[in-house]
């Protein structure tokens, strides 16, 4: 039996846990004897469907308040206390579970270095370490400074065996942007974007002659109120006729949900809202237009469905979404509205223009992420061939981790 341990810190939104669960789910379907244990700070992970072979360990939740700044979200503990608890839990999990492969989302050493004890424990062991990276992290200078400070570059060179990038080099190349060394570049595999739809015809009812459907979603919802407020108010300015579905997201404050529902009751638009769905990709597939932020998962689903999109990217505390939205706009794959210039009138104009356009014939992007990633991991799993067997990708117990 192959044991996979996943790390998903989940300090903001649903992106990390949804991506981690997609990888874990695909893995246990390809390797039926595999067990995948996910360490996560998300309190909604179990609300998503998962195949047999996956389980979760809930870590105390942290909240991101700035670049590399995190606090306890629910417990009255300072940062040092909450991270001490999380690290202690993860050490115990690692010791008991004894994974064959550890898959880490985004942070090579974990948030505030909380994975360093596990990396130290695995020195001299056959455990393989894999980094899972979305296509874009942040502006290059920010990532480079942060990774140098945390020692992530050294850890990637000495302790990681593979780096899976969920994107395409010609859209954005993190290996150049973030100044990966040759040793790190040699471990990188560009897998393409993640496609959750499976077969081309899966999803809800296909678009037909019905009234157009517009989906508005801010992902997890923490900071999505301005987008949805602008969208609802825009319904009184649009000339197009369409139905609207709003998904608030599990982390939107109840006060904001109440305000938005009150606005919905006053608009002339045909709109209804739900708090949360574990199958957002099916709504994306059924929509003629999606209004959303520009997070990796939602954008991947929009592009895979070849649905028109209006993206309002998050610009704080990172500009990852702004970079992604601009790159897609340059390829005419989406319309971008900057949040600092957002207004109901501008939103309405964008909606009218997008609904007049044809569905994109193609994106020029690859949606091979999950299959290609497992192809990269298969030598580790099936044949037991590890990069470290020839002296590469491993260090002796006496070497300094950093």
pLDDT tens across 66-112, in order?
Answer: 777 888 988 889 999 999 999 999 999 999 999 999 999 999 999 99
Q: In 3D, which of 196, 223, 192 has the Cα closest to residue 48?
A: 196
CATH number, domain containing residue 219 = 3.40.50.2000
Structure tokens at 60: 């105390």
pTM for this entry = 0.90
Q: Sorting pLDDT into bands at 50, 70 and 90, what band is 115?
A: very high
Q: In 3D, which of 242, 289, 229 has the Cα closest to residue 269?
A: 242
pLDDT for the residue 199: 46
Residue spans of beta strands (DSSP E) within 180-260: 188-190, 213-217, 243-247
pLDDT for the residue 70: 86
Whether residue 231 sits in one domain with residue 127:
no
Q: Sorting pLDDT into bands at 50, 70 and 90, what band is 382?
A: low
Whether residue 181 sits in one domain with residue 58:
yes
DSSP string, 337-400: --GGG--HHHHHHHHHHHHTSPPPS--S----HHHHHHHHHHHHHTS---GGGGTSS---TTS-
Whether 297 and 19 have beta carbons less than 8 Å apart is answered as yes
Tens digits of per-residue pLDDT, 135-163?
999 999 999 999 999 999 999 999 999 99
Asked if residue 208 belongs to a domain, the reply is no
DSSP helix/strand/coil, 12: coil
pLDDT for the residue 164: 98
pLDDT for the residue 45: 84
User: Which residue matches tokens 């560009």?
Assistant: 190
pLDDT for the residue 221: 92
Whether residue 332 sits in one domain with residue 217:
yes
Whether residue 273 sits in one domain with residue 141:
no
Residue 268 has pLDDT above 80, yes or no: yes
Tens digits of per-residue pLDDT, 10-42?
766 688 889 999 999 999 999 989 999 999 998
pLDDT for the residue 200: 42
Residue 204 has pLDDT above 50, yes or no: no
Asked if residue 221 belongs to a domain, the reply is yes
Whether residue 138 sits in one domain with residue 34:
yes
Residues 219-244, mean pLDDT to the nearest whole number: 96
CA dihedral defined by 386, 388, 391, 395, rounded to 10 degrees?
-170
Domain range holding 72?
Answer: 3-194+367-390
pLDDT for the residue 350: 98
Asked if residue 204 belongs to a domain, the reply is no
How many structural domains compose the chain?
A: 2
Asked if residue 344 belongs to a domain, the reply is yes
Whether residue 244 sits in one domain with residue 152:
no
Structure tokens at 271: 């709109």
Q: Which of 41-50, 253-262, 287-296 has the lowest mean pLDDT?
A: 41-50
Asked if residue 402 belongs to a domain, the reply is no
Whether residue 152 sits in one domain with residue 224:
no
Tens digits of per-residue pLDDT, 386-401?
344 444 444 333 344 5
DSSP helix/strand/coil, 261: helix
Asked if residue 240 belongs to a domain, the reply is yes
Residue 202 has pLDDT above 50, yes or no: no
Whether residue 189 sits in one domain with residue 71:
yes
Contacts of 329 (CB under 8 A, 6+ apart): 311, 335, 336
Overall residue count recorded for the chain in this entry: 402
pLDDT for the residue 353: 98
Looking at 31-126, list the stretches that DSSP marks H as alpha helix, in order from N- to C-terminal side.
79-97, 116-121
Whether 179 and 144 have beta carbons less than 8 Å apart is answered as yes
Instruction: Please give the mean pLDDT across all residues of the chain.
Output: 90
Whether residue 234 sits in one domain with residue 158:
no
Whether residue 41 sits in one domain with residue 141:
yes
Asked if residue 273 belongs to a domain, the reply is yes
Whether residue 246 sits in one domain with residue 189:
no
More confident residue, 359 or 353: 353
Whether residue 308 sits in one domain with residue 239:
yes
Asked if residue 396 belongs to a domain, the reply is no
């Amino acid at each position: 039996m192959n044991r996979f341990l996943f790390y998903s810190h989940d300090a903001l939104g649903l992106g990390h846990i949804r991506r981690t669960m997609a990888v874990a789910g695909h893995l246990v379907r390809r390797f039926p004897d595999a067990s995948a244990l996910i360490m996560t700070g998300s309190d909604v992970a179990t609300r998503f469907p998962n195949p047999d072979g996956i389980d979760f360990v809930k870590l105390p939740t942290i909240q991101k308040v700035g670049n590399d700044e995190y606090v306890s979200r629910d417990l009255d503990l300072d940062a040092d206390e909450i991270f001490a608890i999380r690290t202690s839990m993860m050490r115990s999990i690692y010791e008991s579970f004894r994974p064959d492969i550890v898959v880490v989302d985004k942070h090579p050493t974990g948030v505030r270095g909380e994975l360093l004890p596990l990396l130290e424990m695995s020195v001299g062991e056959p455990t393989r370490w894999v980094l899972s990276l979305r296509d874009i992290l942040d502006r290059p200078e920010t990532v480079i400074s942060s990774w140098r400070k945390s020692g992530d570059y050294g850890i990637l060179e000495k302790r990681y065996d593979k780096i899976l990038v969920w994107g395409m080099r010609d859209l954005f190349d993190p290996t150049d942007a973030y100044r990966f060394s040759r040793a790190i570049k040699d471990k990188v595999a560009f897998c393409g974007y993640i496609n959750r739809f499976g077969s081309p015809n899966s999803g809800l009812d296909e678009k037909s002659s019905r009234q157009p459907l517009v989906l508005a979603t801010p992902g997890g919802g923490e900071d999505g109120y301005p987008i949805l407020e602008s969208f609802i108010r825009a319904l009184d300015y649009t000339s197009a006729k369409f139905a609207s579905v709003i998904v608030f997201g599990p982390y939107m404050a109840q006060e904001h949900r109440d305000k938005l529902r009150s606005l919905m009751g006053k608009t002339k638009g045909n709109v209804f809202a739900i708090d949360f769905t574990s199958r957002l990709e099916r709504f994306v597939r059924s929509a003629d237009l999606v209004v959303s932020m520009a997070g990796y998962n939602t954008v991947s689903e929009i592009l895979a469905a070849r649905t028109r999109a209006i993206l309002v990217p998050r610009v704080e505390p990172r500009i990852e979404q702004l970079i992604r939205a601009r790159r897609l706009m340059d390829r005419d794959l989406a319309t971008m509205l900057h949040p600092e210039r957002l207004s109901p009138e501008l939103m309405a104009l964008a909606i009218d223009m997008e609904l007049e356009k044809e569905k994109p014939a193609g994106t020029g992007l690859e949606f091979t992420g999950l299959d290609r990633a497992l192809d990269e991991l298969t030598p580790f799993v099936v044949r037991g061939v590890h990069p470290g067997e020839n002296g590469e990708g491993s260090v002796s117990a006496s070497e300094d981790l950093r």
